[in-house]
Structure 1
């Protein structure tokens, strides 16, 4: 049994299944979109938290409501738009799409974290001669690291596991692992041991990433939940 399992794993990694290019695509797209979403979400959340934005509550609700729509509701418009723009089956197109989907969640989560950071820290830094950007970089960002890590995990999990858009918009060059794994075919049809091996390999990066940030994730979930 062990020999067969190892053989299937080696076949998936180095065999003719072409799994590894899809696995690398998943790494590039998932981590790239997560970085962009967290970066944009942090900047937007800071703006909503620290400045008087007209209709801020309505804007935040609108931003979050975009996450409520199922992918199938916007699949056809996105497909037509990507075809016209030449973004179909490209890593850039998938990164932009996943960033747009995840940035709403990132803004919503990170605003709660930044709201819990006292403004007095920034005001003291600016009195000492720091600019607004320097005060943000040196006082707010270090204290928001917990929230950023927690948000990154949630964004990465979505981008890593997303199936519908990946199946619709990619077919070869930028295809990710989720829509490819079910298509692994053996000599007698569906090669379920190879599918299981590919799924196991696919889970490793997200598992390692989550374990490395588990402390930040737990602290991030409970941050601000208990007040003195």
Structure 2
């Protein structure tokens, strides 16, 4: 995909395939942001839908991930530290929401969103992706909270901290690797989601996955160089985010596997 993004249309379809011996071009990246409208002498460059779709993806992913991680952290802490009747049943119910295929609920969600005025809105997609990621976030954060000794909080409360202050100043710093790992997984899920983004949005709120799919389904043929360039740009934010949190991510995915 990386090499195809820098190939001309002739090099993309050349036989035998050219892996390294081709002249690189940035035209595909230009066409991702500016498309040709019109024919012949009336042809001109106009802005494409990709920048708006990329911004939509960034807004929806960032806010839905933030909400899912925030609610998951608070819920995971509560499930880890408190006992109440039916706790195991509630946890199983939360987990069971992940077992339902998305296609089963797409029609009810579509009808509900049309009636509530959430169709083709950023708010609607943020709520939807938050709900999708919440069960995963709760279970992940509960596991991380279970690995943090409760004695640390008890010692802090003996020194005059309230429960909330102990949570903020003692628990959260130790849970940061788990929070980072959960945020990465939730962010990737929201960033890559395709089905609901295709059905519940139109041009104004459409995200990148259906936008790239629309480029593939053109009647004029598939420009694989443009598709590869758009896909490469789509992957870049996730790779950059993962790079900056890699220290916490590596600690998060191994949190609790080694006992001291």
TM range (shorter): over 0.9
For residues 33-59 of structure 1, the C-alpha deviation after alignment (integer angstroms, 9 at most, x for no partner) is 000000000000010011112211111
1:213 aligns with 2:245: yes
Choose from 78, 81, 93 the match for 1:47.
78
Q: Secondary structure at the match of 2:240?
A: helix
Distance 2:117 2:25 in 1: 41
TM-score by length of structure 2 reads 0.84
Distance 2:141 2:252 in 1: 10
* Cross-structure match for 2:33: 13
Q: Secondary structure at the match of 2:84?
A: coil
Choose from 189, 192, 212 the match for 1:158.
189
Q: Specify every segment of 5 or more residues in structure 1 that has no aligned partner in the other structure, as ranges.
A: none
Aligned length: 228
Distance 2:182 2:32 in 1: 32
C-alpha RMSD over aligned residues: 1.6
Q: Secondary structure at the match of 2:26?
A: helix
For residues 81-117 of structure 1, the C-alpha deviation after alignment (integer angstroms, 9 at most, x for no partner) is 1010010111110000000010100000010110111
Q: Specify every segment of 5 or more residues in structure 2 that has no aligned partner in the other structure, as ranges.
A: 1-6, 9-22, 36-46
* Cross-structure match for 1:130: 161
Give the deviation of 1:191 after TM superposition: 2.3
Q: Identify the range of structure 1 (99-108 vs 115-124) with the bigger mean alpha-carbon deviation.
A: 115-124
Q: Identify the range of structure 1 (3-12 vs 46-55) with the bigger mean alpha-carbon deviation.
A: 3-12
Distance 2:252 2:221 in 1: 45
Bigger proportion of residues as helix: 1
Distance 1:179 1:112, change over 3 A: same
Structure 1 stretches (4+) deviating beyond 3 angstroms?
1-5, 185-188
